[in-house]
Amino acid sequence: MCIARRALETIAAHAREALPAECCGVLLGTANEIVEAVRTRNLSEDPSRYSLDPKGHIDARRAARSRGLEVMGFYHSHAHSEPKPSIADLAEATYPGHLYLIVRPRADGAKVRVFRFEEEGFLEVGFMTTS
């Protein structure tokens, strides 16, 4: 899996700006590349949880389709814990085959991990950054 540097920068900036709360958004791309991250509102009132705004999700799907892209998955931050799926993340995941990128903002940037949600749970996916 490849992820455009610009998409990672967008995600890291969103995570830092949302502190101390979590942020969330949609990942757009093609079969093996995430080319863009689209910010969405986090509707959760709990700062340590996220609830992706359905309108933002639908708007991102429409924008992707109009540009020949598809929704590859979603991202959210873990403001105060490691970027690995939590029990809540597993319970609330509803898109099998989609990617779930989790970011932990840090003073020196961000720590990012990517997972694919399958029937058996989350499977970590290796990735490389592209220009």
Supply the pLDDT for residue 116.
96
> Considering the entire predicted model, what is its pTM?
0.94
Q: Could you tell me the sign of the dihedral formed by the alpha carbons of 40, 123, 45, 12, in that order?
A: negative
How many Cβ atoms sit within 10 Å of the Cβ of residue 81?
11
Q: Superfamily for 2-130? A: Cytidine Deaminase, domain 2 (3.40.140.10)
CA-based nearest residue to 107, from 15, 39, 21, 27:
15
- Per residue in 106-119, pLDDT (tens digit) is 887 899 999 999 98
- Residues 38-59 have a mean pLDDT of 95
According to the model, what pLDDT value does residue 90 have?
A: 92
Q: What's the pLDDT band for 120 if we cut at 50, 70, 90?
A: confident
Span 6-24, average pLDDT: 96
CA 12 to chain centroid, in Å, comes to: 10
* Average of per-residue pLDDT values in the chain: 94
- Position 32 pLDDT exceeds 90: no
**Domain edges within the chain:** 2-130
